[in-house]
Chains A and B, each alone.
Chain A
Amino acid sequence: MIPVWAQVCYVVAAVCFILALKGLASPKSARRGNLLGAFGALLAVVVTFFAYDIDNLGWILLAVAVGAVPGALGARRVAMTAMPQLVALFNGVGGGAAALVAILELRHAELLSDGALVASAFTILIGSVSFAGSAVTFLKLQELMTGRPITFPGGPFVFGGVLVAALGLGVWTVATGSVTLAIILALVGLLAGVLLVLPVGGADVPIVISLLNAFTGLAVAAGGYVLENALLLVAGTLVGASGTILTRAMARAMGRSVSSILFGAFKGGSTAG
């Protein structure tokens, strides 16, 4: 159990995140809202180093520097037009991080409750879907591959088959708590992510990034359940819920529905088709 002062700091960080999202919804307060969110995140990370018994401190700080420097520089230097794909990239790596954390937590599967086992399988699957899906959207927007929808005969059936396989593997992982199965589950999740995004093209791609953003949020929330960390749970859930609403609003602003964006290419209804 972590100290009470740390839990109180986590509550403060959670409030910062709520106010950040609230602020971002209005032009006047958007920039302040974003800074408040950054403050909440900084507080949460700093508190974590003192609240938990953290070994390998030097290595962790080095890893933080390795992530922070290119993250900040890339975000500062990228051309305005390339921002959506950068957001896709950041979203994808977040999903990947969540999946890795959940895989590592399965090492002590015998200590996890049934609920936590289900949550870790969920994080591994959704995190890797988000990672691979975001990677494909990045390639599409960066024009490293065609931005047009990619469909192939039987595509929906292959996708359906992969989802069924993922579900089965997920149940098997929960039943056994096996790390090997969890890694296979992650690989199937990567495949599902690619198949989900391939048929989406043109102006629909940013909406799919928003959907994958909500996915990563839910993966982080489930990761918070596994680690019994209320802050991760709240932050991830906020992003998952607000991201879902935002995805629908973005689709509606273009006169489209989310399902027509994801599956429309099979019926020839994509904006780029």
Chain B
Amino acid sequence: MTEGVALLTVFVLAVFVGFEVVSKVSSTLHTPLMSGANAIHGVILVGAVIVAGTADEAGVLVVALIAVVLATLNLVGGFVVTDRMLEMFGGTRPPTAEVAPAKVGGE
């Protein structure tokens, strides 16, 4: 199996896994799930680091470093904001009136 076909196989299987894992999700969790998925695609940071790490001229390095900054913002900010959203879902502290789950999950 060539590299391209191997990656294509992985892609197709991952599509089915992606469909399956969120097939049953309660509507209060829609926003945190979106936010958590958003954080996960922040791993594009891996790609940005690889490109920045192989940059051989200043211009390329500058653009790659911008990509690193943007990807880190996505990755770190994404997980932290999701954690904050989830603090009110049966966490350690009792939910107060203004942070009740219903106000966060719905629109």
Contacts and interface: CB of A to CB of B under 8 A. Distances in A.
Do the two chains belong together in a single complex? yes
Interface stretch (A30-38, A146-154, A166-174, A259-267): A30-38
Contacts of A56: 52-53, 55, 61
23 contacts: A20-B40, A30-B29, A34-B79, A37-B39, A41-B42, A54-B53, A62-B65, A67-B72, A68-B76, A75-B78, A75-B81, A76-B80, A97-B48, A213-B37, A224-B47, A228-B7, A232-B43, A235-B40, A235-B41, A237-B10, A237-B15, A239-B38, A242-B37
Interface in A64-110: 64, 66-68, 70-72, 74-76, 78, 80, 83-84, 86-87, 89-91, 93-94, 96-98, 100-101, 103-105, 107
B38 to A, nearest CB: 5
A184 interface: no
Nearest to B53: A54
Given A45-B49, A52-B53, A237-B14, 13 more contacts: A18-B17, A34-B36, A34-B82, A45-B75, A64-B72, A67-B71, A71-B76, A104-B55, A221-B14, A232-B46, A233-B14, A234-B14, A242-B33
B15 A241 contact: yes
Contacts of B102: none
A185 B25 CA distance: 37
Nearest to B2: A113
Contact of A100 (B66, B89, B103): B66
Interface of A: 13, 17-18, 20-22, 24-28, 30-31, 33-35, 37-38, 41, 44-45, 48-49, 52-57, 59-60, 62-64, 66-68, 70-72, 74-76, 78, 80, 83-84, 86-87, 89-91, 93-94, 96-98, 100-101, 103-105, 107, 113, 115-116, 203, 206, 209-210, 213, 216-217, 220-221, 223-225, 227-246, 249-250, 253-254
Interface in B22-81: 22-55, 60-61, 63-81
A243 B98 CA distance: 28
Contact of B77 (A27, A57, A75, A231): A75
Contact of A107 (B16, B33, B60): B60
